[in-house]
Structure formats: C-alpha cells, structure tokens
Chain A
Amino acid sequence: MSISLEGLKEALARTGYIAEQEVVVTLFLALKLGKPLLIEGPPGVGKTEIAKALATIFETELIRLQCYEGLDESRALYEWNYQRQLLKIQLQKELGGSGSEQDLFGPEYLLERPLLKSLTSEQQSVLLIDEVDKTDEQFEAFLFEILSDFQVSIPEWGTVRAKHIPIVILTSNHDRELSDGLRRRCVYLHIGYPSIEKETAILESRLPGIRHQLAAELATALHRMRALPEIEKKPAISEGLDWAQALAALGHEQLDEQALQDTLGVVFKHDHDLRKMREMPGFLEKNDPPPRLQDSKKR
C-alpha cells in the first residue's frame, strides 16, 4: 500500500473523516505492516467510519462482517448451497444426467461469506469485522488463522490463500474482553470521545450549513453531558449530528434551554438519562469546567 503519512491524513480529510494524529499514525502503521487494526472505544465515535473512509480512499470494496452472538463459520466464511446441491441430485436422478460427486462442490455451489469473499476478491478489499466482541471465544479463535496467514482450509478444495491481503479493521465496544491472541495479531487503536474543538469541526464538516457558533455550543454541551456521572449512555458523535439536524428542523438557531428541552430525546435514548437531564434545569447556563472524562474505559 503505497501511501505516505501526510498523504493518508489528507485523504482521510477528503473523505470527511477528521482524524487526530494518533489515529492517522496508527492507521498508517497498520497499512504498512499489513496487520489488522483493532479499534476499541465507546459506541458512536467513528470506529466503523474508518473502514468506510479507507474503502473510499483506496477505491475498493468494503466487505463487512457484522458480528453477533452465535455467529459461526458458515455465516462468516462459507457455506455449501445445500438446497442447490440437493436439487442437482434430484434433477440428475430424474433426467438421468451423469456427474461425479466432485461436481457438487464446484464454485457455483459455494456461498461465499464475507471472510472468504475478502480473500478471493480480485483486488485488495477492506474487510470490516464489526463488533467482534459480540462473538464468542470459539469464533475468535477461528479468526486467528485468517488474520495470521490470510488463508483458510475448505476440505473439498484444500487451502485457499488470499489473492490480495485485505485491509482488515476490527472494531469492539468492549462488551467482552478479547483474547490476548487476537490482540497480539493486531495493531491497536483506542478512540475516545472527541475534544470540543474536534467535535465542532466534525459537525461543521458533516453539516455544511451549520453556524460555527451553534456547532461550538453543541460540542461544548455534549462534552459536558458525557462528563456527568449520572448519565448511563453517553451521547455519541452520531447523536450530536442528529441533534444538530433536529435543532435545524425545529428552527432553533442557538442552543438555549427551550431548544434543549425540545430535543433531549434525540440525544438521550434511555428513560433514566432523560429524567436526569430534565432534573437539571439551567444545565446550559452553568459554565463550570466539565469534570475529567472517564469515558475511555467502558468497564
């Protein structure tokens, strides 16, 4: 992957992804070392967006494996099209065609799932393994083979090696502690909530019509909300963007108490958090510096 550090930074900016130097350097190293990048951080801070930005930068396909509880190899790697194979057998039987058993294991009967698809892709793709912490340990161990050697074994075919080693991005919300083995194979990046300045820039970049003053007010309010220990689900960047759009839709040009009360439901998605915020009249007037954030550690 021939790209310089500065080139990557500029390319990320062109895609609308505002990244700090730490993010750029880590991403650059993952690309240069050909290692998967494991990104951890609270939900909604732009982990998945990095993979999308990379696919845009390298003009390549983004192959996404959305992890969930109970995800297994057949959903992640490949599956034989059992129904189609049966149909073929039935047809052969009824129409009297000839064919060997091997014919039933050709590429047309193989359902490629995201992992295999990324290995057999004709050009280097971006493989996003999203929310890897949602899977169980067995699946994580299975990922080792792919992430180390970029090859998989299909009993009927033998070993399938990657035509092009994909750019692999793994994301985790830290719902479950990932194993040392998986971590060791990756370059690691933690993304926390952005600073006020960065969030202002994100709002301005994503919502070109927004006034600078309003963007700064929103970013400051979000920063202070995240610092409140009573709030269980901290508002994410995406919720900040929704908030700005909601204010625009309601015709609010500045963030005042009325605007806040009207749009709290866009920012907070838990009854408990909503109640807590409603119990804090004059939240916006208080200019005391926010307490130190502890968001970075989810546990």
Chain B
Amino acid sequence: MVNPFPNTPTILVEFCQILRGLGVRVSTTEALDAASALAHLDWSDPEAFRTGLQATLIKRMDDRPLFQQAFKSYFQPAERTCGCGGQKAQPQEEGETEFLFQGKPLDIPDELKEVHRKLPPEDQRRITDFLERTSTGNKVTEKFQSIAERMVTGSLEYWRRQLAEQTVQSFQVDYTGNPRIDAALEASTEALQSSLPALMQRDLAKIAESELPQVIQLLKRMAKALATQLSRRRRRSRATQQVDLRRTIRGNLRYGGTLLKVSYRQRSRTKPKILLLCDVSGSMVKYVTFVLQFLTSVANLAYNIESFIFAEELERLTPSMRTHPSLGELSEIITNRSAQWGKGTHLQQSLVSLRTRHRRVIQPSTVVIVLSDTKTIQAEAAAAELAQLRRSVKQILWLNTLPREDWPRHRTTGLFQAHARMLPCNTLADLAKVVGSEIFHLGQ
C-alpha cells in the first residue's frame, strides 16, 4: 500500500478540523475509526481513500456535500493560498479606490468604501465610470459634486444591503488559525455557497410560483417525518406503563387466578392547545401561508390549534383551516377573503381584541405562537399587552420572519423578546427546525 501522505495523523487531524469548521460533528472516535479504515485500504485508489474517510467520518447524508467539498479543497486544492491566520481571509488588498469628482475626492464614509472593495470588479467599475462620465459632462460644475456624492452613497448603500442579505445565506465557518486548514475551509465555503440546498435555505418570501410544487413536496416530506414522531411520542412505552390490576385479575380468572397474562394501562394525555397569531400585513403572505399549512398539517394530529390572522385587527381563521385548504387556497383565503390582508400592523389593538373578544382561547395551558416580523405601530403598548398575555398563558413563541442577523437593527425585536421566546423563521430550514425542536416538544 502506497501512502502518499508522509504525515498521516496530522493530515487526518487537519481534515477533521476542516469538517468541524464547516459544522460537521466529528468525534475523536470517528477520527480513530478513519485512521483504522485507512490502514485497510489501498491509498493508490483515490476513490477507496475518499470512501473510507466518508464512511467513517460522515454519518448524515446532509453532511455529505460538505465532506465532498472539504475533501476536494484539502486533498485536491486548486492553486491558491489563503494568508489568513485565524480570521477569514480578507479580499486581496488593493489600492484604495479614490472617488474623485473633477479631481476632488468625494466625502464617502469608510464603511461604504469597504463595501465598494467587496464588490465584483464590474460593479466597482460601474460606479467609477459613472463618476468619470459625470465629471467630464457638458456644463457640469462643482455644484454637482454633492449630487454625485449622494448618488454614489445611495448606490453603495444599496450594495451594502445586498451583501448583508448574501451573508445571511452564507455558512457560518469557524476558522482555526492554521493557515492550511483555513485555506481549505475558505475554498470549501466559497464552493458551497453556490450549491446550498437552495429551497431549504431561501427566504420564504422569495420562493417563486414555479417552485411551489417542489416546496409543497418538501413541506409534505417534512410534515410526514415530523408527524410520525409526534404520533409516536404520544404513545408510552411498555417500560413506563403501569400494571392494570383490575384487568389482570379479570383476564386471569380463566387460569384459576394464576397470573399468566399481565395487562398494562396507559396514562391518558391531553392535547396541548396552540394559539397561532399570524401577521398578514405587507409582504407577510408567503410566510403565513407556508407556516400555517406546515404547522396545521404537522400539529393537527397532536394538538388543538386555534388560528388567527391580524394586521390592524384580529380575524379568526380556524373555521377556514378545518377544510384543510391547499397552499393556493390558503393564500386566496388570506389575500381575497380577509379584510386584514395588506394593512398596516397594529399588534396592540389585535391583542386587545384577542383578550376581549376571544377570551375563551386564552388558558393557562395555551401555547401562543406569533408569526410576525415585529414591525408594528405603538410597539411599546403592544409589548405591554404581550406581557399581559404572557401572564395568562403557558408560553409565547415568536417566529420572527426577519433573519436573525437583522434583529439588532430593529428596536421592536428587542421589545418583544422580553416577553416571548423568539426564533428565526425565515426559510424552510428554519421552519423545520422550529417545528422539530420547539413545537414538537410542546406536549411534553
């Protein structure tokens, strides 16, 4: 067996660190297994070598693309190096672009200059070309400098938002400080950005009509997997059952009282109550239709769900949900039949309506799930109303459709976080995670 790597343990440890950096859980036992596996394989066969590492280090299908990319980046690296030492490598230092208007520098904040440096060359050029053209235009005087300044600042602000959005979709990578490992990590991350499981990671509001059949299939699969678990959870295993003495004695009378067969009894469980409050203002319709359909298809099996939509006022949706509408029908119900669709959000007023007009749905065992981007008028009053609601129910979960990275920029998020457990619910992956890790456990 030919060993092309003179320092196998180091290679293996480094590769495991790359995988960990990409978020794959690799334990020491698994690293040891990989080392043992390599001892049994012919290293001159690259396919066997790769499969050996994959079989011992990767235990989830979801992690396989990460492994494949890490393998490619580490064992078959392209000709590039990363000079990072513990931090993500910065884009190559280039001479700072001077934003000049008729030879005079424009007053552009440093952070926006940084945004400019991060842009692709053609977009960078577009801005500098614009400045050049404007500077040399006919009858262009110095007075136009401030206009040019505003134009460039506006354009760079736009790009800042775009870049921030891309960052949200990107991988969170833990850099190690070892240049070799970080180079492979960076190469893997870049390659993986373009191959992210697109639909699962995409903002729900950006899912196109043409992708709906795929999304519906995904939702169904996720719902099926989760519903199976929910129904299973409700059953108690025999180990925790109690002997049913009455049935045991009755059943064994036929054997002359000898206890040949033992009967067990199960403890009955009550369905927890879920109260769903969905914000249908502005661009919320897609989030609401996806979440409503998913939640009701998963949780109807085990929970009692009361659904409301709100914008300026509260509107009960439960009767419409009883017919199990499809995604399209649900969207139609919200946008056409509801009086609330597209209005501004007034959470406080909606919560007051809930407290006064729908008093019976607020019970100590109720779990309230609010689906909203937290943008509302009279936020302080709404927070106070939410605090009051919190005292009357078991728990409040807030599914925030804003990406988690944007939360600090919205004051309202902080206000409501004080009274509700806030979770991101921006993508299908978020949705599956929220249902799997939070709503799934409500009955326990």
Contacts and interface: CB of A to CB of B under 8 A. Distances in A.
Co-assembled chains A and B:
yes
Interface of A: 5, 21-22, 25-26, 28-30, 32-33, 35, 38, 40, 69-70, 72-74, 82-83, 86, 90, 136, 138-139, 174-176, 180, 183-184, 186-190, 229-230, 232, 296-299
A21 B260 contact: no
Contact of A32 (B37, B64, B221): B37
Is the interface on chain B under 10, 10 to 19, 20 to 34, or 35 or more residues? 35 or more
Chain B facing A: main interface SS = helix
Contacts of A189: 55
Contacts of B222: 299
A59 to B, nearest CB: 23
Nearest to B222: A299
B52 interface: yes
Contacts of B228: 175-176
Interface in B190-221: 213-214, 217, 220-221
A142 to B, nearest CB: 10
Interface in B345-395: none
B239 A21 contact: no
Contacts of A5: 41-42, 48
14 contacts: A5-B41, A21-B47, A22-B51, A29-B56, A30-B55, A32-B36, A139-B237, A174-B61, A175-B225, A180-B25, A180-B59, A187-B56, A189-B55, A232-B220
B59 A29 contact: no
B30 to A, nearest CB: 6
B260 A82 contact: yes
B333 interface: no
B96 interface: no
B258 interface: yes
Contacts of A90: 258
A88 to B, nearest CB: 12
Contact of B61 (A40, A86, A230, A232): A40
A26 B220 contact: no
Most buried by B among A74, A187, A299: A299
A136 B37 contact: no
A160 to B, nearest CB: 20
Given A189-B55, A299-B225, A33 B36 contact: yes
Contact of A184 (B30, B217, B221): B30
Contacts of B217: 229-230, 232
B232 interface: yes
B27 A184 contact: yes
B59 A26 contact: no
B62 interface: yes
A139 B222 CA distance: 24
B66 to A, nearest CB: 14
A174 B64 contact: no
Nearest to A23: B51
Nearest to B218: A299
Most buried by A among B214, B239, B432: B239
Contact of B64 (A73, A83, A190, A229): A190
Nearest to B236: A70
B318 interface: no
B40 interface: yes
B238 interface: yes
A86 B261 CA distance: 11
B225 A26 contact: no
Contacts of B51: 21-22, 25-26
Most buried by B among A29, A38, A184: A29
A298 B218 CA distance: 9
Q: What are the nearest 5 A-B pairs in CB distance?
A: A183-B59, A26-B55, A25-B51, A188-B59, A32-B40
B235 to A, nearest CB: 7
Given A21-B47, A86-B260, A138-B239, A183 B29 contact: no
B143 interface: no
Interface in B57-82: 58-62, 64
A35 B33 CA distance: 9
B167 interface: no
A69 B36 CA distance: 36
A17 to B, nearest CB: 17
Contacts of B260: 82-83, 86
Contacts of B30: 184
Given A29-B52, A86-B260, 17 more contacts: A5-B48, A21-B51, A25-B41, A26-B54, A33-B33, A33-B37, A70-B238, A72-B237, A72-B239, A90-B258, A175-B228, A176-B229, A176-B232, A184-B30, A187-B33, A187-B56, A297-B62
Nearest to A297: B61
B43 to A, nearest CB: 13
Interface string B236-269: 0111000000000000000000111000000000
